[in-house]
Chains A and B, each alone.
Chain A
Amino acid sequence: SQTIHQWPATLVQPVGSPLSLECTVEGTSNPNLYWYRQAAGRGLQLLFYSVGIGQISSEVPQNLSASRPQDRQFILSSKKLLLSDSGFYLCAWSTGLSNQPQHFGDGTRLSIL
């Protein structure tokens, strides 16, 4: 069966520091991969999605970036974090077929001080 791993679970970072969150999927090939952010009490905001290695689509302008160095690895990065980057970051995967549901990792709770 497919599993998705996301780490770390919790992260506290100072303003201006870099960020790297990692997500890996097991048990499937060529998944679509997604990064979402959820602010406290709010809905999910799609940040990036990827349909293949090296293919990244950005949904909103921001100081974050994403990379997909391997088929089942998705990384979210920032060179300098802002206070507004605080939130609950969720990685998700879906099959390569269209109109399929997404399945989420456990999430990373990021607090910027």
Chain B
Amino acid sequence: RKEVEQDPGPFNVPEGATVAFNCTYSNSASQSFFWYRQDCRKEPKLLMSVYSSGNEDGRFTAQLNRASQYISLLIRDSKLSDSATYLCVKGAGGFKTIFGAGTRLFVKA
């Protein structure tokens, strides 16, 4: 089993929709979790850090469920510009992180 698993998608949603991605992880000792966004042929960019029970940043909400070992990302009022691949990342102890393979999102007009 991979340490970080994501549904690859793609998720196809209309503008204005709410969409949620889940990410499951193994090794419950992980202390830190992140969501990154990667546009086609570009580098990943940090979207949100998820350190405790979750946090919100504008239209984006991240939740962490330690008991079930998953984190989620909720995007409200989707915009065309939200189309990208979303990477779930967990700290692997110390200075390393493990990246999921990503979930592709397409937002259509």
Question: Which residue of chain B has the shortest Cβ distance to A50 in the bound complex?
Answer: B95
Residues of A within 8 A of B89 (CB): 101
B94 & A44 in contact (Cβ 8 Å cutoff): no
Number of A-B contacts (CB under 8 A): 47
Interface residues on B, range: 20 to 34
Interface size class of A (residues with CB under 8 A): 20 to 34
Given A99-B31, A101-B34, CB of A49 within 8 Å of CB of B95 = yes
CB contacts (< 8 Å) of B46 on chain A: these are: 101-103
CB distance from B25 to the nearest CB of A (A): 14
Asked whether, in the complex, the Cβ of A32 is within 8 Å of the Cβ of B101, the reply is no
Query: Once bound together, how far apart are the Cα atoms of A51 and B34, in whole Å?
Result: 21
Inter-chain CA distance A32–B44, complex, in Å, is: 17
- B32 in the interface (beta carbon within 8 A): yes
Interface residue B1 (Cβ < 8 Å from any Cβ of A): no
Chain B residue nearest to A32 (CB atoms) is B95
Seen from chain A, the residues whose Cβ lies within 8 Å of a Cβ on chain B are 32, 42-44, 46, 49, 51, 88, 90, 94, 96, 98-107, 109
The 4 A-B residue pairs with the shortest CB-CB distance, nearest first, are A43-B101, A99-B32, A104-B43, A44-B99
